Chains A and B, each alone.
Chain A
Amino acid sequence: MVGSDARELSYSQAIQDALAIAMERDERVFLMGEDIGVYGGAFQVTGDLQQRFGEERVMDTPISELAGAGVAVGAALLGRRPVYEFQFSDFATLAMEQIVNQAAKIRFMLGGKASVPLVMRFPCGSGTGAAAQHSQSLEAWFAHVPGLKVVQPSTPHDAKGLLLAAIEDPDPVMFFEHKLLYKMKGPVPEGYYTEPLHEARVRRYGSDVTVVATAIMVHRALEAAEKLAEEGISVEVIDLRSLRPMDDRTLVDSVSKTTRLVCVYEGTKQLGIGAEVSAMIAESAAFDRLDAPIIRLGGADCPLPYNPELERAAVPQVPDIIAAVRASVRGRR
């Protein structure tokens, strides 16, 4: 997966690299968002791209998320390739009309006679002390909408490859970036490459329990797996990467092998990603192979709190994953 020319980049640098390559390769690609120009973006993802590509291709927008999203839809309809950055994924609430009613449905409503090839980037997740309106993980909302694609890269390598694929994709892609990952470094090949938008990845092979995780939870699951290995528990960690479409086959194959499933995600547990993964497994051939009840670890049933200890307690942490895997191996919760 990673060539010899790979060097270490942070997750945010990898995204910036992808944006620059996409703009160099295709003159139709342009970026829109709040404070993405001179300021470089709230999380410095766009950095100096405006200096490199000019104000027309790296456009600061007013604080108008609804129209901003709609402008991206309209430009995409005419064949441009907009990449719209929401400053925080929470602000998608201001733009849901354009995302859900327009972007997601235009191809279908028009009988396949129009496309909306856009990407919306959403910095998401808790852990930064930003409290209830700047910390949410709303990706499951979007995964409930036919017509959207939803991806959540967990590594710098995937952030770049998935973003390049998203920009080329003929359909609207919602791209969720966990804010705690921005500074994480990892190997990222030079130049152009893409990662498929519809495939999960096995991050660690194991035989006792399958842990399906997304975004930051992939790293927590890997850390938990390392500790559990010392106890002789072999954990297979799957990075879901794409919520829609979901790579059912990789999950079913893994659970059929390990016979146990734990889902770990940061969004609210109820009616979340884990509910879909669990139900899909329960409906699949893997159901008969299950040796233990499925366990979901998700966000607590409350808004994200400000207090750092409460904030940590509101989303799954490594010890929670370890405990859940042990419970799964014991066959009970």
Chain B
Amino acid sequence: MNATRREGLPLVYGRLDKTALRKALRQMILIRQFEEGAEQAYMRGLVHGTMHLSIGQEATAVGVGTALQQGDYITSTHRGHGHCIAKGAEPKYMFAEFFGKDTGYCRGRGGSMHIADVASGNLGANGIVGGGIPIAVGAALALKQQRSAQVVVCFFGDGANNEGAFHESLNMAAIWKLPVVFVCENNQYGMSMSAERSTAVKRVSMRAVSYGMPGVTVDGNVFDEVADAAFLAVERARCGGGPSLLECLTYRHRGHSKSDRNRYRTKDEIDAWIARDPIQLFQQDLMAHGLIEQAEVDALGKSVELEIEDALKFAQTSPAPGLDSLTDFVYARRPQEVHGGQ
């Protein structure tokens, strides 16, 4: 980490009013508590399969989300709970999805790794590293064809920057000047392989040069740095300026998934990043600028707790999908309905 703290008031504190900044803080707390709730539910056996927690990365999801409007789209990753909430999804339907319930965003068919909420603009998490990158470019192409002023943000991790899909997609977005912002959440590790070992350039943002687009690296644990850079990139895309690549340096406090024994990183390293917790940093900064008081922070935390509690209750008491619905949604209509079947 060598991103240095800038002087003066962050631009985003001028762009957003107090209410919006508090909303951003609340969203970060909501993501944190949502994932802690999901983790506990997993421990209690309520969640089937695996999940990938983004605890420690909340400033990137919310910093970027703040720069987006309703009608904008995102594509997300296997570590996508934060993106989903930052784009406006409701925790109760997310928990319901994790619990495999029919009321979940994907009616219990997708789970954590495929969480999506097309209505709020989230085109989906993705189980394939780099899988969402070409899709984001296609969505941006559709927006351009529709003469829309909306944009697409494409989240991916440092691991994806070595996938062919990343390179092909950035090139295509650039030659067609599409309204898409590529956001690399560099949390330092693709499962166990560090970005330092996996990537031939020092910064993922340096890859932008190859595709004729701006590329910047920011401290992904600092909300305002992420938000300032995201606003610039999103505005550029919205005005027809084409794509950009934004790299946010951050860290996942938890392991890659539930099987991770943390053999590839040290306790000191983890502790150093935990000491730079993005939520703490944002809270302190807002307080330092007189934009929030401790009592209000406490109240936010409390209201999030209640929301999580209700959301968990909703998910637990929701019905599961019926077994007779197994092959629903494979096609728009079941083949049997089309040709009678045998």
The answer, among B145, B172, B329, for a CB contact under 8 Å with A107, is B329
Whether B133 is near chain A, meaning CB under 8 Å from some CB there, is yes
Neighbour of B168 across the interface among A64, A75, A79, CB < 8 A: A64
Q: Closest residue to B127 on the A side, CB-wise?
A: A101
User: Do A111 and B142 touch across chains, with their CB atoms under 8 A apart?
Assistant: no
Q: Are the C-beta atoms of B118 and A64 separated by less than 8 Å?
A: no
Interface of chain B residues 104 through 128 with chain A (CB within 8 A):
104-110, 114, 116, 118-119, 123-124, 126-128
Chain B min CB distance to A159 (Å): 21
Alpha-carbon separation in the docked complex, A165 to B202 (Å): 50
The verdict on A61 contacting B172 (CB below 8 Å), with A74-B134, A78-B142, A101-B131 known, is yes
**Cα–Cα, bound, A74→B108 (Å):** 23
Of the candidates A69, A78, A171, A284, which one forms a contact with B331 in the assembled complex, judged by CB atoms under 8 Å apart? A171
B59 CB contacts on chain A under 8 angstroms: none
**Minimum distance in angstroms from A11 CB to a CB of chain B:** 25
Q: A109-B114, A110-B109, A110-B118 are in contact. Are A77 and B338 (CB under 8 A)?
A: no
Contacts of A71 in B (CB 8 A): 134-135, 137-138, 141, 169, 172
Is there a chain A Cβ closer than 8 Å to B340's Cβ?
yes
A165 to B83, CA, bound (A): 37
The answer to whether A72 has its CB under 8 Å from any CB of chain B is yes
CB distance from B113 to the nearest CB of A (A): 9
**Shortest beta-carbon distance, B156 to chain A, in Å?**
13
Looking across the interface, which residue of chain B has its beta carbon closest to that of A101? B128
Q: Which of A61, A75, A113, A149 contacts B142 (CB 8 A)?
A: A75
A149 and B189 CA atoms in complex are apart in Å by 38
A12 vs B139: C-alpha distance when bound (angstroms): 30
Q: How far is the CA of A101 from the CA of B110 in the complex (A)?
A: 13
| Interface residue? B171 (CB, 8 A) | yes
Minimum CB distance partner of A32 in chain B: B141
A77 partner, pick from B135, B146, B332, beta carbons under 8 A: B135
B134 in contact with A67 (CB, 8 Å):
yes
Judge whether B339 is part of the interface by a CB distance below 8 angstroms: yes
Evaluate contact between B168 and A249: CB separation under 8 angstroms: no
Q: Is B195 an interface residue (CB 8 A)?
A: no
Contacts A64-B171, A248-B341 hold; do A73 and B329 have CB atoms under 8 A apart? no
CB < 8 Å neighbour of B329 from A62, A97, A108: A108
Complexed CA–CA distance, A79 and B171 (Å): 23
Q: Which A residues touch B340, using CB under 8 A?
A: 249
Is B1 positioned at the interface, with any CB of A under 8 Å from its CB?
no
Question: Are A62 and B168 within 8 A (Cβ)?
Answer: yes
* C-alpha gap A196/B338 in the complex (Å): 10
Interchain CA distance A206-B241 in the complex, whole Å: 64
Q: Which residues of B contact A146 (CB under 8 A)?
A: 327, 330
* B139 in contact with A78 (CB, 8 Å): yes
Across the interface, name the chain B residue whose C-beta is closest to A171.
B331
Bin the interface of chain A by size.
35 or more
**Chain A residue with the shortest CB-CB distance to B142:** A78
CA distance A248 to B141 in the complex (A): 39
A74 touches B141 (CB 8 A): yes
CB pair A170–B332 under 8 Å, yes or no, is yes
Contact with A along B76-89 (1 / 0, CB 8 A): 00000000000000
CB interface residues, A 126-143, toward B, < 8 Å:
none
Contact-size category for B: 35 or more
B168/A113 in contact, CB under 8 A: no
**B61 at the A interface (CB under 8 A):** no
Interface flags for B160-197 (1: CB within 8 Å of A; 0: not) read 00001100110110010000000000000000000000
B335: chain A residues within 8 A (beta carbon) = 198, 245
Closest B residue to A78 by CB, please name it. B142
**Bound CA–CA A244/B169 (angstroms):** 30
Q: Which residue of B lies closest to A285 (CB)?
A: B342
Residue in A115, A198, A284 whose CB lies within 8 Å of B332:
A115
Q: Are A114 and B116 in contact (CB under 8 A)?
A: yes
Q: Which residues 181-233 of B sit at the A interface, judged by CB distance below 8 A?
A: none
A245 adjacent to B332 (CB under 8 Å): no
Q: For B168, what are the chain A residues with a Cβ–Cβ distance below 8 Å?
A: 62, 64, 66-68
B342 touches A75 (CB 8 A): no
* Residue in A closest to B331 when the chains form the complex, CB atoms: A171
Q: Given B110, B123, B327, which contacts A74 in the complex, CB threshold below 8 Å?
A: B123
Closest approach, in angstroms, between the C-beta of B322 and any C-beta of chain A? 13
Interface centre among A67, A69, A198 (most CB of B within 10 A): A67
Q: A106-B124, A110-B109 are in contact. Are A78 and B338 (CB under 8 A)?
A: no
Query: Which A residues are in CB contact (< 8 Å) with B169?
Result: 67, 70-71
Of chain B, the residue at the smallest CB distance from A60 is B175
The interface residues of chain B lying within 8 Å CB-to-CB of A149 are 331
On whether the beta carbons of A73 and B172 are closer than 8 Å, the reply is no
Contact A74 B342 (CB under 8 A): no
A199 part of interface (Cβ distance < 8 Å): yes
Residues of chain B within 8 A (CB-CB) of A70 are: 131, 133-135, 137-138, 165, 169
Are A74 and B331 CB-contacts (below 8 A) given A80-B145, A111-B108, A111-B109?
A: no
* Pairwise interchain contact B134-A69, C-beta atoms closer than 8 A: yes
Q: Tell me the B317-332 residues at the A interface (CB within 8 Å).
A: 327-332
The 7 closest A-B pairs by CB, nearest first: A74-B138, A70-B134, A111-B107, A67-B168, A78-B142, A64-B168, A112-B329
A-B contact sample (19 more), CB < 8 A, given A77-B118, A245-B339: A64-B168, A67-B137, A67-B168, A67-B169, A68-B134, A70-B137, A75-B141, A80-B145, A97-B165, A102-B126, A107-B331, A110-B110, A111-B329, A112-B107, A112-B328, A114-B124, A149-B331, A170-B331, A249-B339
A-B pairs with beta carbons under 8 Å apart, 25 shown: A64-B172, A66-B168, A67-B172, A68-B168, A71-B134, A74-B136, A74-B137, A75-B138, A75-B141, A75-B142, A77-B118, A77-B142, A78-B142, A98-B135, A109-B110, A109-B124, A111-B104, A112-B107, A112-B328, A113-B118, A113-B119, A169-B332, A198-B335, A247-B339, A280-B342
List B residues at the A interface (Cβ < 8 Å).
Answer: 73, 75, 104-110, 114, 116, 118-119, 123-124, 126-128, 131, 133-143, 145-146, 164-165, 168-169, 171-172, 175, 327-332, 335, 338-342
A interface residues (Cβ-Cβ under 8 A, vs B): 30, 56, 61-62, 64, 66-80, 82, 97-98, 101-102, 106-115, 146-147, 149, 169-171, 196, 198-199, 245, 247-249, 252, 280, 284
